[in-house]
Structure 1
Amino acid sequence: MRGVLISIFSLAVAACGGEDAPSPPSPEEATARTIAQGELVGFTDEATGAQVWRGIPFAQAPVGDLRWRAPRPAPAFDGRLAALASSGRCAQMTTPLDQAQGIETGLLVGSEDCLYLDIYAPAGAGEGSDLPVMVWIHGGSNVWGYAGQYDGSRLATDQGVVVVVIQYRLGPLGFFAHEAIRESAQTDLDRAANFALLDQTAALEWVRGNIAAFGGDASRVTIFGESAGAYDVAGLLVSPPARGLFHRAILQSGGLDAVPLEAAEHGAGDVINPAREAAAEFAGSQDAGALRAASLDAIFETYHEGFSFGVELPRMIADGVTLPPQGIRDGLTDPDWFSGVPVVTGTNLEEMKLFNFLDPELVRSWFGVLYTARDPDFYDALAEYQSRVWRINAVDRMAQSLVETGHEDVWAYRFDWDEGGRVLFMDLGRLVGAAHAVEIPFVFNRFEFFGRLDSVLFNRANREGRERLAAAMGAYWAEFARTGDPDTGGGSFPEWPRWTAGGRLMRFDSPEAGGLEIVEGVATFQGLADDLAADPRLTPDQRCAIVARIELWNRPAADRVRERAGC
């Protein structure tokens, strides 16, 4: 009982405010490096022995006249750069996920001066080490998130890779389609609409030119990302400016949707806040100078629509510059657009439980600390069908189309770990389960990610199993980065075979729950609809409620299952 009370107390304290910031590390001469911008120095992580450099600018600050332009090369350092702390966030609205760090939701935070990256390398890595490089693109619906959330030191030291974590413009600063911006372009890339993808491309260019000094091999660069970061990885796979800057790609819980340029600019269908409409509100003008002079407050207030992640706007715009005009999915089957590199794509078994857990219609809160599902069977069923839609779109349809058009280097996975701990009557194994983003701590082998939930989600009882699973996932990810084939994770684990036309993926779970297992078959909307129609857990009204919730998120998917479900 004492342990239970301590856990409850720790949750309550975290809910009320963040902990005091740790003192900054001391620079170490062994980490001094000289690159094109000048000399910089980092530090050694005490827990892992990794060499770390944080807050390195990879492009000019996109401020003033550089707002809504392609990033320009980074300037030289002003003296020796002490690369000891991650940069502040790119401008964004805080979200419910910030509450885990004691930060209020709905605040505008961050800056436009935010194009920085962090580097993690094994001890002793330097010029000539030629280690594979893994460039992480964070998630957050492309409107939220920052590099400081992620610590790549364990992944770097465990697997002998160089990890780079990047930031990029978010929300309306990262995705904006407007004729005044195109007409005022100074370069061809300035005519884009996905400035976030151009930021990521600039970071990859910086990596190509500088990563050798930190021990990395610029000819073996893997881009990997989760959620919106995986969407961005998909975009980079078909983005001409990024071609040749990376050599493998991993998509964790991503997708392939893109908004047509015309809809992003002028509006169509369900598109919220097209650029011309928004510009009239925040700038009172369609003039490029007025748009670039508008305040951040005015811009973000225009896009604030009650969306749970702060802003709602067109993202991943098929602009014909950074993305194919026909969109990402069709671009992947077009050799004129697809980069042709090896690809890993996967999802989590219960993706949507992260979002459903935050929904008061589905989950009851006790004292703002303990949580229970209002209807546990419906809660599980809803997450199952929503998450299957995610898998169909992000894994099976993508893998099938790539293989059918002759691209054989495709691997797929499903992450099933659902052994989160419990406190009294709150069972995170069921409430959170194998939810969206839960795989990230396993890939990074660092179980400090969900703030106040960490101490319950990752406990002593599940420690041995999750650490063994983390070792396997890190090894497969790193072997893919080394060779372009996850294979046996460097010789320690079962072979991970390629996707075939009949469907084949690796299931990741703890040894106690079956461990690593190959699962055959292709997930389809027809199979989902048949299962939903016959699900004994659900009443007819509940089946239709599930279809309605799928429609809120993915109307085409709902349309494909509605009739079979009797709705």
Structure 2
Amino acid sequence: MMLLLVILLGVCLNSASAAKLGVVQTEGGKVEGKSHGMGLFRSVDVFKGVPFADVPGKWEKPKPHPGWSGILKANKYRDRCLQVTLLQTKTQGSEDCLYLNIFVPQGLKLSKNLPVMVYLFGGAFLLGASNDVAILGDSLYDGKEMADRGDVIVVTVNYRVGTMGFLSTGDDRLPGNYGLWDQHAAISWVRRNIAAFGGNPDNITIFGQSAGAVSASFQMLSPYSKGLFRRVITQCGVALSPWALQKKPMALTKKIARKVGCGRSNEDEMLECLKISDPIGLTLAGKIDVLLILGKGTVMDLLELAPVIDGDFIPDEPSKLFHNAAQFDYMAGVNSMDGHIFAGVDVPSINKKNGNTTVANVRGLLAGLTKEKGNAAVDSAFRVYSSHWGSAPEPAVVKKTVADIETDFLFLVPTQIALQLHANNSSGAHTFSYLFNMKTRIPGFPRWVEAEHAEDLQYLFGKPFASPLIYFPRHRDLSGYMIAYWTNFARTGDPSNGGSRVPVPWPLFTKHHHPYLIINHKMTKSSVSYDLRSDYVTYWTKTYSILPSFRREKEENDGGMKTKSE
């Protein structure tokens, strides 16, 4: 009798499925996705590879898709945009790459009017994809868990990267920012079409990590975004980050032109040559030039391809554009050791068990980061960062200082400035600040290493639930917290309220009041703190910024070097 009941219950549960969207009509034609069961009466409809624009012309803005007849089976990811591989030995991807993926949660009834979250991937503007890095079969950016647990629609989008996405002359001939225009086209497509999938076009949040966070930041600051979305989340990067803008685009374009045999003294002839050059060769020419770092530079010097101030999409210095962001709710933060992985390249001894990190190493790193300011900056920054060392600092203290310097300079301080500018310019919109400091899961690093760059993503996208065998309960706790905060924010503009329970209320960041939430698996009332690393933020924003700049320029008449104080 008991066995019969169990069998009957199983049959009932199997037949008790959630609602399904089936075929959806978009502006380009009909699309059909696939339904994935997520639990009793719950599923997620997944649409992979939906075109949001036509195949883009070389260094042209995206164009509307011409549409299709019949039903597009949207059940597999499309190619990433043409880019170098991780090892930079060859290329992968395609020029036909402007596609997005949609994850729609369903219960017993079809979802309606859901908040929409559009994700922009990171990858130094050089690589990456909407379906990047498979973890046990599923993409890192698979949106099913976030959609299901947060009751939001998640959209992940492709955009052009590398030479094809960000090459620029710094003027009208090759304005650049093609990858940003792709993102804008994708967000605009979502606004026009998402109601058919059960989304609320008036409640769109854009979020991203690293270069994707910088992208989200630029989307927020651009005059083209007025009325397009409502909220923005930036994780580990903002438009004010020192690596977020290409300051000398023409010099980089000339360097790439030489690499592909287009070196010409006449710039217009050089550009004509570039325009008929093979995209694969152009893409390889934009790979990271490791020689730049040998002996004189830092990792930051390697990140050459990036957005530019084009007088159009980005009309001015980012710090002067926050009036455009006044209506958007904004949430921003960093990982506690965002800079560690880069510091390990710049000062390799910090990760060696018996490696000795010296004062000269620390000063050398500071010199590389502050070269536009000269020796005075090295001396003043060193005093600030070594003030807690004492007369005989522990080796681990010195090593952690190196990681802190790189984290502050590349990520934390620019994010704090962006939060302050948003709060100062806000017209009723909310501002929230966080620090993610879960200890690293990457094996082999020293004990003092906390949250690495990009380590937040596995929790936000629910990997501890999707791949439970490689995580512990504490990781699932953290994942649940992050999904709740992020999706509450998308729903209401307040991460503490919106249908998902959170462990700690998250206070507003305002003009004169700077709380931040410390996010990890053990969250209590003490997870709210104030004035994140304020001594260091003050140093970089006040003391450092008023030091005179130095630039070295070649004298045309005698071929000698002259140092100028600006």
Bin for the TM-score computed over the shorter chain? 0.7 to 0.9
- Aligned residue runs from structure 1 range 231-246, under 5 A: 231-246=214-229
Partner of 1:279: 257
Change beyond 3 A, Cα 1:178–1:420: closer
Secondary structure at 1:157 match in 2:
helix
1:523 to 527, 530, 533: 533
Q: For the Cα contact (< 8 Å) 1:260–1:319, is it kept in 2? A: no
Partner of 1:361: 348
- Aligned residue runs from structure 1 range 281-360, under 5 A: 281-282=259-260, 283-284=262-263, 286-287=268-269, 289-307=272-290, 312-325=303-316, 327-332=317-322, 335=323, 337-338=324-325, 340-356=327-343
Partner of 2:521: 510
Distance 2:300 2:82 in 1: 13
Distance 2:279 2:108 in 1: 41
Distance 1:125 1:192 in 2: 49
Q: CA deviation at 1:261?
A: 9.4
Secondary structure at 1:507 match in 2:
strand
Partner of 1:415: 436
Secondary structure at 2:463 match in 1:
coil
Q: CA deviation at 1:303?
A: 2.6
Q: Aligned AA for 2:496? A: D
- Aligned residue runs from structure 1 range 35-434, under 5 A: 35-46=26-37, 49-62=43-56, 66-95=57-86, 104-123=87-106, 129-149=112-132, 150-178=141-169, 182-183=172-173, 192-257=175-240, 263-267=247-251, 273=252, 275-279=253-257, 281-282=259-260, 283-284=262-263, 286-287=268-269, 289-307=272-290, 312-325=303-316, 327-332=317-322, 335=323, 337-338=324-325, 340-356=327-343, 361-362=348-349, 374=355, 377=396, 378-407=398-427, 409-418=430-439, 420=441, 426=444, 430-431=448-449, 433-434=450-451
Q: CA deviation at 1:355?
A: 3.5
Secondary structure at 1:389 match in 2:
helix
Q: For the Cα contact (< 8 Å) 1:278–1:302, is it kept in 2? A: yes
Distance 1:428 1:61 in 2: 46
Q: For the Cα contact (< 8 Å) 1:128–1:212, is it kept in 2? A: no
Secondary structure at 2:76 match in 1:
coil
Q: CA deviation at 1:402?
A: 2.4
Scaled by the length of structure 2, the TM-score of the pair is 0.73
Secondary structure at 2:68 match in 1:
coil
Q: CA deviation at 1:164?
A: 0.2
Secondary structure at 2:131 match in 1:
helix
Q: For the Cα contact (< 8 Å) 1:177–1:192, is it kept in 2? A: yes
Partner of 1:25: none
Is residue 441 of structure 1 aligned with residue 483 of structure 2?
no
Give unmatched runs, 5+ long, in structure 1. Answer: 1-27, 96-103, 184-190, 268-272, 365-370, 531-555, 561-567
Distance 2:200 2:463 in 1: 24
Say which is worse superposed, 210-219 or 516-525, in terms of deviation. Answer: 516-525
Q: Aligned AA for 2:25? A: T
Task: Provide, for residues 315-362 of structure 1, a one-character-per-residue CA deviation record: whole Å limited to 9, x for no partner.
Answer: 12011111022x212211xx3x43531100100111123345677934
Distance 2:346 2:249 in 1: 32
Change beyond 3 A, Cα 1:261–1:92: closer
Distance 2:244 2:279 in 1: 26
Secondary structure at 1:45 match in 2:
strand
Q: For the Cα contact (< 8 Å) 1:304–1:311, is it kept in 2? A: no
Say which is worse superposed, 352-361 or 492-501, in terms of deviation. Answer: 352-361
Secondary structure at 1:122 match in 2:
strand
Secondary structure at 2:67 match in 1:
coil
Partner of 2:374: none
Q: For the Cα contact (< 8 Å) 2:325–2:426, is it kept in 1? A: no
Distance 1:129 1:464 in 2: 33
Distance 1:318 1:310 in 2: 19
Q: Aligned AA for 1:338? A: A
**Runs of at least 4 residues off by over 6 Å:** 125-128, 258-262, 308-311, 527-530, 556-560
Task: Provide, for residues 471-498 of structure 1, a one-character-per-residue CA deviation record: whole Å limited to 9, x for no partner.
Answer: 1111111111111121346362222111
Scaled by the length of structure 1, the TM-score of the pair is 0.73
Q: Aligned AA for 2:493? A: G
Distance 1:245 1:93 in 2: 32
Change beyond 3 A, Cα 1:402–1:529: closer
Q: Aligned AA for 2:452? A: A
Secondary structure at 1:141 match in 2:
coil
Q: For the Cα contact (< 8 Å) 2:214–2:244, is it kept in 1? A: no
Give unmatched runs, 5+ long, in structure 2. Answer: 1-18, 133-140, 291-298, 357-394, 549-566
Change beyond 3 A, Cα 1:404–1:38: closer
Secondary structure at 1:476 match in 2:
helix
Distance 2:77 2:488 in 1: 28
Q: Aligned AA for 2:128? A: G
Q: CA deviation at 1:240?
A: 2.0
Q: CA deviation at 1:265?
A: 3.8
Partner of 1:536: none
Q: CA deviation at 1:110?
A: 1.2
Secondary structure at 1:193 match in 2:
coil
Change beyond 3 A, Cα 1:522–1:351: closer
Change beyond 3 A, Cα 1:226–1:558: farther
Distance 2:108 2:278 in 1: 43
Q: Aligned AA for 2:340? A: K
Q: CA deviation at 1:527?
A: 6.6
Q: For the Cα contact (< 8 Å) 1:93–1:107, is it kept in 2? A: yes
Q: CA deviation at 1:276?
A: 4.2
Q: CA deviation at 1:437?
A: 0.7
Is residue 497 of structure 1 aligned with residue 511 of structure 2?
no
Q: CA deviation at 1:391?
A: 4.6
Distance 2:492 2:534 in 1: 31
Q: Aligned AA for 2:321? A: G
